[in-house]
Amino acid sequence: NAGVTQTPKFQVLKTGQSMTLQCAQDMNHNSMYWYRQDPGMGLRLIYYSASEGTTDKGEVPNGYNVSRLNKREFSLRLESAAPSQTSVYFCASSEVDAGELFFGEGSRLTVL
Amino acid sequence: ELKVEQNPLFLSMQEGKNYTIYCNYSTTSDRLYWYRQDPGKSLESLFVLLSNGAVKQEGRLMASLDTKARLSTLHITAAVHDLSATYFCAVGSYNNNDMRFGAGTRLTVKP
């Protein structure tokens, strides 16, 4: 049971570089989410997707773009990375809107 | 805007003691979740609470929801070291997909 798979697990970028975090789930869930986790701030929602082809902004969307490629995959792109985007990123999925979340293992991103 | 507050943020307790973590939220919601996170790991679901008065128990942990007070509690009974972790509550709504998390409670259980 793979569940939610994120890649890469670790990444170091220089300021201004771009990269894409990939996420795939094999549970046939409709909703997918991208969160970032920073010390003392819990998880903050970046973007979510209620279904294939739809995406919505969350609490902290600035500096990010997303693509819901199909039902399984939801990618997060940083077009021009900034040190403030240094964080741990989690992808999650749920069967229904705002349902119980199933998380990937996380991607630790450092922007120098 | 939905805001979620947890307290305490840090909790150090002796094995065998009881304690409660509180989760308050600012707007009407019909679903609340508790998650556990071990250091350097991902989050795993503990409890799903979907109605007023809901109570769920698993081992030494019990969660409850009072939607009128906009309050959920996570009660720890006779704590053991294995419960040391960070616990998060999260609040969502059927009306949208916006799931908001509390800042987390870092629990340390000492022998």
The predicted pLDDT at position B95 comes to: 63
Mean pLDDT of chain A: 94
User: Is a pLDDT exceeding 90 seen at residue B51?
Assistant: no
User: What is the band of B110 on the pLDDT scale with cuts at 50, 70, 90?
Assistant: very high
Average pLDDT over residues A56-73: 95
The predicted pLDDT at position B2 comes to: 83
The predicted pLDDT at position B52 comes to: 86
User: What is the band of B10 on the pLDDT scale with cuts at 50, 70, 90?
Assistant: very high
What's the CA gap between B60 and B44, in Å, rounded? 16
User: Is a pLDDT exceeding 90 seen at residue A34?
Assistant: yes
Chain B contact for A99 (CB, 8 A cutoff): yes
Contacts of B88 in chain A (CB under 8 A): 42-43
The predicted pLDDT at position B103 comes to: 94
Chain B contact for A90 (CB, 8 A cutoff): yes
A window 7-66, beta carbon within 8 A of B: 31, 33, 35, 40-45, 48, 50, 56, 58-59
What's the CA gap between A31 and A112, in Å, rounded? 32
User: Is a pLDDT exceeding 80 seen at residue B30?
Assistant: no
Average pLDDT over residues B56-67: 96
Contacts of A40 in chain B (CB under 8 A): 9, 103
Amino acid identity, position A112: L
Tell me which of A53-62, A65-74, B56-65, B90-99 is least confident.
B90-99
Cβ–Cβ under 8 Å, residues A58 and A47: yes
Amino acid identity, position B68: K
The predicted pLDDT at position A30 comes to: 92
Task: Quick: pLDDT tens for B67-102.
Answer: 999 999 999 999 999 999 999 999 986 666 678 899
The predicted pLDDT at position A103 comes to: 97
User: Is a pLDDT exceeding 80 seen at residue A40?
Assistant: no
User: Is a pLDDT exceeding 90 seen at residue A97?
Assistant: no
Residues in contact with A91: Cβ distance below 8 Å, sequence separation at least 6, in sequence order: A4, A6, A21, A23, A25, A32, A33, A34, A35, A74, A76, A103, A104
Which one has a higher pLDDT value, B28 or B86? B86
What's the token pair of residue A108? 């630790």
